[in-house]
Structure 1
Amino acid sequence: MGHSGSKRAPRTADQILGGWLGRVAGNMLGKPIERGDVWTRDRIDRYLRRADALPLTDYLPALEPPPDPVEFELRPEWQECVRGRIHGSARDDDIDYTVLGLHLLETHGFGFTTEQVGEMWLLRLPYLQTFTAERAAYRNLAAGVRPPLTATVDNPYQEWIGALIRADIHGWVSPGDPSRAAAMARRDAVLSHTGNGVYGAMWAAALIAAAFTADGPRTAVEAALDRIPPRCRLARMVRRAASLYDAGVTWQAALDQLERETSGLPWIHTVPNAAVLTAGLLYGAGDFTATITLTVRGGLDTDSNGATAGSVAGVLCGAAAVPPQWTEPLEDRIRSAVFGFDAARISDLAARTHRLAIRD
């Protein structure tokens, strides 16, 4: 569904830039507290209250010196990610895979194979910048294992969130076409994931593609559900989050309920994170700041969820409507471990993405 030459082309370019900026900003917002087993919702809000930062409307403030360095210990990278200290984005795998996905599509087109995804990892991505399922798949690739066995050999992380965080690019290049976005994300995801791990990537890509033409997050969430098996656990939890929202339950009470229903799953598992993300999108109601701050305050994999929420919200509102406190500190620049892309300009990456989106 290209929009080349149509009145929608400038709007689509602005939405893709919004998606890139939103992804980077949301990632940076969640990065200092990305440790879901320690940084619970309660602890995050205690920290924000101590910093007099509720409601949260900007990047995380730093408490210096921290009142309790054990209780409120931020991740080591916090100094690059807190309010007043951000000069361009910090390096993060959530952004590396987006960059790598762009390079994949520029190199191989929309008909890329899962094998080509694996080759691209080996060529462009340092092994020690991969984690959980991606590291297992990388190790398998290096040992000569071929997809889809790369996802299942000695890989206990097959349903974790790694494939979902790689999905944005497939949504951005498929504006208004969730079906194509989901199909592309699936080919990428099966390198390292199975089951709900793959469905999470398909759902996220479809969600972002749907956001280009949806009248709000509720419509986009519904359209994305159409692209995954209706009885899978991921679909059931996304529908549950939507039903709590529709019933007028408060955000806090909804997250309490979703947490009970996903208890026992690891904090990096796709299913509980998709529930937190869905709640952030719906209760954020299309407002960029509310969407990413509620999502990050929801806990679990905060930087990954913040990034995806920012991507969806950025597409919904467009770059021009993303508030400047989120974009100005990024200085139109990312750090990346992907060979050849460090210090790339966000605006350039977005323009390259837009060229792909209208190429069909």
Structure 2
Amino acid sequence: MALPYEELADRILGGWTGRIAGNMLGKPVERGDHWTREHIDAYLRLTDALPLTDYLPPPPPGATGFELRPEWPRCVRGGIDGSCRDDDVDWSVLGLHLLETHGFAFTTEQVGEEWLLRLPYLQTFTAERVAYRNLANGLRPPLTATYDNPYQEWIGALIRADVYGWTCPGDPRRAASLARRDAVLSHTGNGVYGAMWAAALIAAAFTAPDVRSVLEAGLERIPASSRLARTVRGAIALYESGLGWSEALDELAERTAGLGWIHTVPNAAVLTAGLLYGEGDFTRTIALTVRGGLDTDSNGATAGSVAGVMCGAAAIPPQWSEPLRDRVSSAVFGYDGVRIGELAERTLRLATLTQ
């Protein structure tokens, strides 16, 4: 179903804005082994910020045990003046550049070439850093994903997937296919499925009537027997049983115990819960997702992207969008300081090719 041009433009800008805002919300507490769900809420109570309806407050003087990430002064209320640099946004920028340069028929090898040309090695992490090193040493896909890589199912490929959803509005199948072609450079198994799932969610968010329909569209694009699919279905079942958000996350944490806080599967559980219990409200969705812990900035970014596409930029409350000053800090060569609006306009041009 083709969307009217103005609506499509608003939803794509909503996706970019939502991704950046959700990332900024979660960035100060991005360390899932320390900033647990309980610890995040303790900080919010300490700073009188529950319910969470804005960016995190700065830490009060003398507070101990609540040390935020070093970048926190630029990521909290009153300190935000444009977006902070973060890999969760860098990958979206680089993905846009990839599609503009090589088109929708890009190859996995071309994904790797753009990494080497456009992104500094030390601004990559876990599976992406391993794949980058493997590329520099002359390996080609799929060996770039499997050689000496203990992070193959971590969340990195999922956070690279948004641009494929934004440029395939209403077409989750195509979005997932593009995301897979990117993801196999660095990931396998649930790591790849996570990217396909996220891209499909975002593509579906343009036309789906509600969050449950978005999640169903994502599930249709990944193997039903995968641990990722089983975990997402489990989260949906807990929500539909009437269990509260916190109790549902307790149960999901038990089911995914031992995978670590950067693995795709437990983060997808937190993200699914945030989307469901957020019930389509932008602020509630990103707040609950970040409060869920684990990889907070990545989960907040993806939740913000889905919610931003669903509601459109015009409906995102100004406390999230205005401090961003329509400006992106980026490590991607040639893009530092680019306007969010420009990124959205360029994404829109690509999306209209698929409508």
CA distance in 1 between partners of 2:305 and 2:181 (Å): 21
Contact 2:28 2:68 in 1 (8 A): yes
CA distance in 2: counterparts of 1:74 and 1:242, whole angstroms: 32
Q: Quick one: distance in 1 between partners of 2:116 and 2:216? A: 36
* Alpha-carbon distance, 1:217 to partner: 1.1
- 1-structure distance, mates of 2:61, 2:330: 30
Within a 5 Å distance, the mapping from 1:109-258 to structure 2 comes to 109-258=103-252
* In the alignment, structure 1 residue 307 sits paired with structure 2 residue 301: yes
Cα offset, 1:359, TM superposition: 1.6
How far apart in 2 are the matches of 1:313 and 1:322? 9
Contact 2:327 2:337 in 1 (8 A): yes
Residue among 274, 277, 280 paired with 2:274: 280
For residues 40-90 of structure 1, the C-alpha deviation after alignment (integer angstroms, 9 at most, x for no partner) is: 00000000000000000000001231421xx10100000110001000000
Shift in Å, 1:216: 1.4
Structure 2 counterpart of 1:326, from 320, 331, 346:
320
Corresponding residue to 1:25 among 3, 13, 21 = 21
C-alpha distance in structure 2 between counterparts of 1:75 and 1:40, whole Å: 14
Matches within 5 A, 1:344-355: 344-355=338-349
Percent identity reads 74
**Residues 204-253 of structure 1: CA deviation (Å, up to 9, x unaligned):** 00000000001111110011100000000000000000000111110000
Q: Normalising by structure 1, what TM-score?
A: 0.98
> Letter of the aligned partner of 2:268 in structure 1?
A
Task: Decide which of 51, 57, 73 is 1:61's aligned counterpart.
Answer: 57
The normalised TM-score by structure 2 is 0.99
**What stretches of structure 1 move > 4 A for 4+ residues in a row?**
none
Within 1, Cα distance between the matches of 2:328 and 2:244?
A: 36
How many residue pairs get aligned? The number is 354
Unaligned runs of 5+ in 2: none
Partners of 1:336 and 1:63 lie apart in 2 by 26
Contact 1:172 1:208 in 2 (8 A): yes
Q: Which runs of 5+ in 1 are unaligned?
A: none
Distance 1:158 1:80 in 2: 32
Partner residue in 2 for 1:44: 40
In 2: Cα distance, 1:76 partner to 1:309 partner: 24
Give the Cα–Cα distance (whole angstroms) in 2 for the partners of residues 155 and 66 of structure 1: 41
1:76 alignment partner, SS class: coil
Q: C-alpha separation between the residues in 2 aligned to 1:66 and 1:312?
A: 37
Cα distance in 2 for partners of 1:261, 1:101 equals 33
- 8 A Cα contact 1:66 1:72, kept in partner: no
In the alignment, what sits opposite 1:93?
87
* CA contact 1:207–1:312 (8 Å) conserved in 2: yes
What CA distance in whole angstroms lies between the structure 2 residues aligned with 1:112 and 1:83? Answer: 40
